[in-house]
Amino acid sequence: MFYGLVLLLIAQSIIFLKHKKDIQKINIQKASEKFIERDNYFKSYIEDVKLKLFTIQNSAIFQEHIHDKTGKLFLLDITNTAKNIMQLRYIDANGMEKIRVQRDTYGSKPYLIKDDQLQNKKNRYYFQEIMKLKEGQFWYSKLDLNMEHGKIELPRKPVLRVGTPLFHNGKKVGILIVNIFMKKILNDIVNTPLFDIYLIDKDGYILTDPHKKSCWNRYLGTSQSINECFDQNTKDIVSKSELKGENFYSKKIFLNNGEDIRMVLQLKDEYIEDAIEEEFYKLLFIMLVVILISFPFSYFVSIRPSRLKDKVDTEIKEKTKELQEINENLEKKIKERTKEQDILLSLFDLSDAVLFKWNNDENWTVNSVSKSVESLLEYTPQEFINGKIVYAHCIHHDDLQLVMDEVTQAINEKKYFFKHEPYRVITKSNKVKWILDNTVIVRDENDNITNLVGYLTDITALKTNELKLKNLSITDQLTKIHNRMYIDEMLQNQYYRFHRNQEISSIILLDIDFFKSINDKYGHLIGDMVLVEFATLLKSSIRKGDTVGRWGGEEFLIILPHANLQQALKFAQKIRKTIENNIFTTIKHITASFGVATFEKGMSIENLIDTADKALYLSKENGRNKVTTIQEVKDSGLDDDYK
């Protein structure tokens, strides 16, 4: 019996060691898949910033107003659309900063730096390197810590800079460069339950690690490096583009900034220890069962071999049968429970709806999901369950914060069931879909949240039709620009912004001169053609962020956010000349008269429109084809009823 136990122990030990290697092999493969996911996530973060630089480079508004306040406001608006932009600058060909937009912390409100604080950067390495690039090329800085006055800024702010040369009419006139907050994206990359993830440069210095103990050691002068984490593998990690070790995987990321940054994914010790401990207890259990059975059996066989043989055999059979029955009952219960879940999930496979069971973690990893998810998001259920994709990464980045806030609010209010506002998701092929999400919060007997269960319905077609109907409701059917109803709504918004935030804005009311004569002479069909062509000309002449609409008949109204009276006057004169110089298809030449007004303290929307209308009246009285401002209305005495 002793030798049998020894042989059994050896056999189980061999199986145990083999299984340990299998665990490592499988999870190293998972590490390569996790690398692809995190590298793509990092890449999309940078590509979004490049897209914004590309938009600025190709913006007709910025090209036209590159040296005036409109250009500055344009870069400020661009920065407002991206919470991760720390600094956005336009530097001219002589190295002088012309525009600098600053944001102090991630997601805070950006602001323009005053002209007297702008600096000359012609001797800075990044300016010289970007100026050497061709049109359409991009430059990337090292991934490092932000410096202020020659010292590392506290609290530490990891940054990456992306730059591109700026061309105007085919001539290189300077550079655009953006500093990006990197702390959040780096934390997202290194946080995962299965692996410890490091980012290291080509010299083996640690840029960031999951334990936050040795981050940025190149810049902080700390002693710990990648050598202390991976010992003899360090040389291969920093020299090879891809490396699979016994318990780690490393590969160079997409970023081509001269640092040759590598992402190293190391299996967490506690995960390996848990797997080994589980196998050890399995081995121990088998050994105990064998010993418990073997000793009584040996005793009876050795003491009463002939008399007890049949009895022992009978008892063994009975015990075996009893164990088989226990195993069969257990297996039956497992199958029944699995079948119940499969039946529930299969019901959703018969419809377009999707049933998700999410884990209660920050990325909403998936516990189970119905097969119908493939028709909605194009990912297989296995891709979610294996952690290759998490649900949070499927939500449109502009809607993610809203969805997270709704979940947080529901949890704080101790809700069992709640309905999300419709939000957008991104499919595997980058299609955008709208969904309706009804979610149940599952809690255990101690009121701790265990899971979230969501019932998702595709409402893309409904939402598309809704947006089409909304567009029809705010569009003038003849001219295809905004109608009176939409203009009223936008005026109301500007009114609230002015009174809440003192956000200045102006309006331009304009009227086609002698339009009645055009209708009388050429007929209403020609008159309509003139209105359509006139509206198209106005739409192409306004700035991004401005709003133009048909106010009524031959009258049109333009809303200019962030524009004071002088800026609005200058802009109105520009449009007036554009109309005067334009050759229309039928009438050839027409002109228009303009009235300009700006929100002032105590002024209502009705006061604003009335003042612009009086200014327009003065333009017509003074010979038409003119621009008149609110000040001229006051000087004329027409504003006696204005309060």
- Which residues have a catalytic role annotated? 554
The structure tokens 């303009």 sit at 594
Q: Bridge-partner residues for 424, per DSSP?
A: 434
Residue 249 three-state SS: strand
Tell whether omega for the bond before 155 is within 30 degrees of 0, i.e. cis: yes
Query: How far is residue 387's CA from residue 26's CA, in Å, rounded to a whole number?
Result: 14
Task: Kindly state the DSSP code that residue 224 receives in the 8-state scheme.
Answer: -
Lookup result for tokens 């229309």? 584
**What is d(CA 288, CA 257) in angstroms, rounded to the nearest whole number?**
59
Q: Which DSSP helix (H) or strand (E) runs through 490?
A: helix 484-501
Q: Residue 358's closest CA among 318, 387, 398, 323?
A: 387
Stated length of the chain:
643
Q: Are the beta carbons of 213 and 222 closer than 8 angstroms?
A: no
In whole angstroms, give the CA distance from residue 28 to residue 267. Answer: 8
**What is the torsional sign of CA 587, 593, 598, 604?**
negative
Structure tokens at 132: 């050497």
What letters, b where the CB count within 10 A reaches 16 and e where it falls short, cover 158-174? bbbbbbbbbbeeeeebb
Judged by DSSP in three states, 342 sits in helix
C-alpha 538, offset from chain centre = 34
Query: Both tokens of residue 474?
Result: 């705010």
Tell me if 543 sits within 8 A of 505, measured CB to CB: no
